[in-house]
Structures are given as C-alpha cells and as structure tokens.
Amino acid sequence: MTTSRAVQEIEQMAPQLAALSRELWEHPEVAFTERYTSRRLMSILREEGFAVDNPVAGLETGFVARWGHGKPCIAILAEFDALPGFSQKTQTTEEPEVPGGAGHACGHNLMGAAHTGAAIAVKRELEARGMEGTVVLYGCPAEEVLTGKVFMARAGLFDGCDCAINFHPDSVNGVDMHVLAGIDNIKFNFHGTISHAAARPYDGRSASDAAELMNVGANYLREHIPDGVRIHYVTTDGGKAPNIVANFAQTWYYIRARERAAVDEVYKRLVDVAKGAALMTGTTVEVDFQGGCYPNVQNKVLAQVITQSMEEIGAPVFTPEEKEYAAQLNRTCPQSPRRPYPVDPDVPLDETILGLYDEGNFAYNASDIGDVSHLMPSTMFGTVCYNMLSDLHSWQVAACTGHSIGQRGMIFAAKVLALTAMKLIEDPKLVEQAQAEWRQQMKGIQYICPIPPEVQPPVIP
Ligand SMILES: [Zn+2]
C-alpha cells in the first residue's frame, strides 16, 4: 500500500478517467486525424492549469502541456490514435460497432486517459506540497504510423526534459526490457506513360512493370544485406486493367532492424533498386517517405522505479465477470503465449506483477518512443488491459479496451505513472542514475532524425 498523494488523486479521479477512456474509445481516430481526442485532452489539461502548446512540430493534433518549474523535468508520453478497420463491440464475438470503421485495437484510448490523469495527479501533489519540479504531458499523435514523436523530436520539443515514462496496454503487468526495432516506412510511386496495351503498347511505359521489377530487385537484395534486417512490401496500386499500360503504380515498403545504421544503409540501396527499375522501364520514381523511427532502448533504472511503484500500489484484481469475459476471448485466440512470458496462459487475466522481463532480447515490433529513448532515458511499461492470449492489433483487444477490464488496467497504469514521476522528482539521484545508464547506452550513437528534412506531417482536410 502506498500513501502517495498523487495515487490518491488518481483514485478520486478513477470514475472520470474510466469514462474518459470509454469516450475516446467511442471516438476512434486514425493517425493524424485525432481532432476530437486531442481537443478533449487539451481542454482537460488547460482547465487544470497546464500551459498547453498546440499545434506543435506541424502536427495539428500534437500538443505539449506543461506544469511546474525547475528540475527534474519528467516527460509523460501520451498516445491516442486508433487503427483503421478494427471497429468492435465490447463483446466476446467479432462484430464491428461501425462496419469498416476504426477501432482501439492497440488501446491508445487508455493511454490518452492514463497519461492525462497521471500528469494532473503529479501537478496536484507538486502544487499542494509547494515542490519544485516540472511535469510535461506530451500529446503524441500518429504512433501507429511511427512518426508523431519523431516529428516532435526533430522540432526539439523534448529538449529540457530529464527522462520520459510511458505506459502501453498489455496482458501482463511489467516492463518488457527487449529492444524494439528501428524502422523506415516508404512508398515508391512510379509514373509511366499510359497507352492501349493491345493497340499501341510501344507508346506505353509501364509503371506497373517498374513496381514489379522493383519488388524482384528487392528480393534479390535480401541476400546481400546485414543479418537481421527485414524488408516487407505490398503493391498497393498495380494499375487499373490489363488492357491499359499503367501510368501509375505504387509499392509500399517497411525496413526493420535492431540498429538504426542498418536501416539507413538498406534504405539507400532500396532507393537505388527503385531507380534501377524506373530506368529499365522508362518511367520515373518518386520516393514518398512516410516515416521512420529509431530502435527503442529501455532504461533499467527507470524500469526498477516503475516496478517498485507497481509493487507498492498492488496489481489490479478483476471481478469474476471480467475473468469470464476474458476466458471467452482466450478461447477465440491462438492457444499459445506469443512472447516468452513466464506466466500461466490458462489464467485469463493476470493479477501478478512480473517486473522486468525479456532483457537482452530483440523484437521486430517498433514504436516511435525509440526516438525519445535516444534523446533522454525513457521506459515504457505494460499493465493488464486485455486477456492473456490476445495480441495487440486484434478485435479481441478492441473488445477489452472499451470494457471495464481495460479501464481497470488503465487506472493502475495512471497510478504507476504518477507514483513513478513523484519518486523521480523527490529523488533526483534516481534521475542522475538513469542518465548515467543512458549515456553508457548511447556511446558512439548520434541521433539524426530519420525523417528527411523536406518531409512534413500530412495536412488532413
Ligand atoms: Zn500501441
């Protein structure tokens, strides 16, 4: 049990935070379009007395909300975008609320509510105790396309903060210590010359051929790139009909690796492959860089403070109805744990605290928190917000993030965020230790924003 004032503040705000997370769940907005969500969170923070900057870094839905003065300065990173096509009712069978609509299958509605609640709770404790220290809530849009925080990093918005903490919905309460991948996300647009494919093929220059040859080239490239680099692609536009020589085609690539330098190297070579395909076919290619981020490096000092906070607060206990709901969802999932959790996959909702796990390993998933982790010590943790056998980006997760299961995990996360931030503010030595570890991790690494300078966030009408 903890006597933390910030934790008590969350306890008092719990019904409103749960309702807020449900409200955001009912207004799912995909990357860069999070207008309702962003405005809602900003208005709550302004009302509380935070100084809110918006737009930031060319992001209409991005914001920075600041309260307090002096050091340490703790960054709390909220995300809030939804995923296209994952609309789902809060029930244990697959059925969209809005056919074809977006949904919170990654639970970022819970992140929006938890991080906002935590920032407010920290502010209230600092204010009541007349303490020095700054809390900054970053409203980070477009995490699902791995770019919001990268644009914010490029604009220098994280300057002046000492460390960052972030919660993500999970099926365990713990801090996953594995490194996440760095990534580039690029669309290659080929422009050719249209003609009748039967009557005048000699007048045509096929963009579709170019896209196909680029994919062939990329598949040959695979053998000659550093081990562990993954390239995936999908041809999103291959022309309109076989009897028309296509004047436009598009192929969409992701490159992933543990080292940012490997992503950069393969990116350059992939651009050459695209140029070669254009040259072969008499077409032109336009490289449309969608986004990219750095690998995420977790900080052990911060992870330990987070774990200590979890233990002091105590893991959430779920109701028999919630366990039955989760058990029914488990039966719809693949019957094996997805990651090396040393927990029982037969338990529908875990009620233990796992602490730090999977240290020293690497996962090919990515998050744009990677860029923040190259600017200051940063750590992301998870709390139980969905059933044990679900994985993120699934209808089952969307069925939990609008349910009391997700809300219970979200309230726990808000408490952990608030208590961790207070521990760091009260004991600046912890911040110094986290920074010493981070400097060690960053030896020989220079942060260069992966998004080229000419690329700006999209303007959504
Ligand atoms: Zn997510």
Q: Averaged over 393-397, what is the pLDDT?
A: 97
Collapsing DSSP to helix, strand or coil, 383 comes out as strand
**Residue 81 CA to ligand 1 centre (angstroms):** 8
Both 166 and 204 in one domain: the answer is no
Report yes or no: 29 and 414 within 8 Å, Cβ to Cβ: no
Q: Which amino acid is present at 90?
A: T
pLDDT score at 153: 98
Both 378 and 305 in one domain: the answer is yes
Collapsing DSSP to helix, strand or coil, 237 comes out as strand
CA-to-CA distance for 391 and 335, rounded, in angstroms? 12
In a domain, 450, yes or no: no
Both 154 and 273 in one domain: the answer is no
**Residue 13 CA to ligand 1 centre (angstroms):** 24
Report yes or no: 158 and 429 within 8 Å, Cβ to Cβ: no
CA-to-CA distance for 161 and 337, rounded, in angstroms? 37
CATH number for position 232:
3.30.70.360
**Residue 154 CA to ligand 1 centre (angstroms):** 21
Q: Residue 199's pLDDT band (boundaries 50, 70, 90)? A: very high
CA-to-CA distance for 376 and 184, rounded, in angstroms? 22
In a domain, 119, yes or no: yes
pLDDT score at 345: 74
**Residue 313 CA to ligand 1 centre (angstroms):** 24
Measured CA to CA in angstroms, residue 195 lies from 237, 250, 369 at distances of 17, 18, 47
**Residue 362 CA to ligand 1 centre (angstroms):** 17
* pLDDT over 90 (residue 8): yes
Tens of pLDDT, residue by residue over 124-178, are 999 999 999 999 999 999 999 999 999 999 999 999 999 999 999 999 999 999 9
**Residue 146 CA to ligand 1 centre (angstroms):** 10
In a domain, 457, yes or no: no
**Residue 109 CA to ligand 1 centre (angstroms):** 10
CA dihedral 433, 439, 440, 441 (to 10 degrees): 110
**Residue 366 CA to ligand 1 centre (angstroms):** 9
CA-to-CA distance for 233 and 139, rounded, in angstroms? 30
CA-to-CA distance for 99 and 105, rounded, in angstroms? 15
Q: Which of 292, 318, 349 lies at the terminal end of a domain, its last residue?
A: 292
Lowest-confidence pick of 49-58, 134-143, 344-353, 409-418: 344-353
Q: Which amino acid is present at 155?
A: A
Tens of pLDDT, residue by residue over 242-272, are 999 999 999 999 999 999 999 999 999 999 9
Both 26 and 97 in one domain: the answer is yes
Residue whose tokens read 């994952």: 86
**Residue 24 CA to ligand 1 centre (angstroms):** 15
Measured CA to CA in angstroms, residue 161 lies from 50, 72, 76, 282, 417 at distances of 16, 8, 10, 51, 16
Instruction: Please give the distance of CA 40 from its chain centroid, rounded to a whole number.
Output: 20
Q: What are phi and psi of 173, to 5 degrees?
A: -95, 105
Both 233 and 92 in one domain: the answer is no
List the structure tokens of 131: 């303490």
Both 345 and 431 in one domain: the answer is yes
CATH number for position 78:
3.40.630.10
**Residue 241 CA to ligand 1 centre (angstroms):** 37
**Residue 43 CA to ligand 1 centre (angstroms):** 23
Tens of pLDDT, residue by residue over 317-332, are 999 999 999 999 999 9
**Residue 361 CA to ligand 1 centre (angstroms):** 20
In a domain, 452, yes or no: no
List the structure tokens of 48: 């509380």
**Residue 367 CA to ligand 1 centre (angstroms):** 8
In a domain, 461, yes or no: no
Cβ-Cβ contacts under 8 Å for 440 (sequence gap 6 or more) = none
**Residue 223 CA to ligand 1 centre (angstroms):** 31
**Residue 108 CA to ligand 1 centre (angstroms):** 6
| Maximum CA extent, the chain | 82
Q: Residue 340's pLDDT band (boundaries 50, 70, 90)? A: low
Residues around ion ligand 1, judged by CB within 5 A, are 106
In a domain, 260, yes or no: yes
pLDDT score at 354: 93
In a domain, 453, yes or no: no
Report yes or no: 36 and 29 within 8 Å, Cβ to Cβ: yes
Measured CA to CA in angstroms, residue 162 lies from 10, 70, 134, 376 at distances of 24, 11, 10, 6
Q: Which of 261, 292, 323 lies at the terminal end of a domain, its last residue?
A: 292
**Residue 136 CA to ligand 1 centre (angstroms):** 20
**Residue 84 CA to ligand 1 centre (angstroms):** 13
Both 108 and 130 in one domain: the answer is yes
Q: Which of 292, 310, 334 lies at the terminal end of a domain, its last residue?
A: 292
Domain count, the chain: 2
Q: What are phi and psi of 189, to 5 degrees?
A: -105, 115
**Residue 107 CA to ligand 1 centre (angstroms):** 7
Whole domain around residue 355: which residue ranges? 5-180+295-441
**Residue 103 CA to ligand 1 centre (angstroms):** 12
Both 110 and 224 in one domain: the answer is no
**Residue 168 CA to ligand 1 centre (angstroms):** 6
pTM here is 0.94
Measured CA to CA in angstroms, residue 179 lies from 82, 295, 364 at distances of 24, 7, 9
Name beta bridge partners: 82: 30
Both 335 and 422 in one domain: the answer is yes
pLDDT score at 1: 66
pLDDT score at 81: 97
In a domain, 15, yes or no: yes
**Residue 323 CA to ligand 1 centre (angstroms):** 23
Q: Averaged over 352-380, what is the pLDDT?
A: 95
Q: Residue 28's pLDDT band (boundaries 50, 70, 90)? A: very high
**Residue 277 CA to ligand 1 centre (angstroms):** 35
pLDDT score at 2: 79
Buried b (16+ CB within 10 A) or exposed e, 195-205: bebeeeeeebb
**Residue 422 CA to ligand 1 centre (angstroms):** 25
Residue whose tokens read 């390993």: 361
Report yes or no: 261 and 286 within 8 Å, Cβ to Cβ: no
Residue whose tokens read 């076989």: 242
Both 118 and 207 in one domain: the answer is no
Both 68 and 123 in one domain: the answer is yes
**Residue 79 CA to ligand 1 centre (angstroms):** 8
**Residue 129 CA to ligand 1 centre (angstroms):** 34
Both 49 and 15 in one domain: the answer is yes
Q: Assign residue 68 a region (left: φ > 0; alpha: ψ between -120 and 50; beta: otherwise).
A: left
**Residue 30 CA to ligand 1 centre (angstroms):** 12
Name beta bridge partners: 187: 252, 288
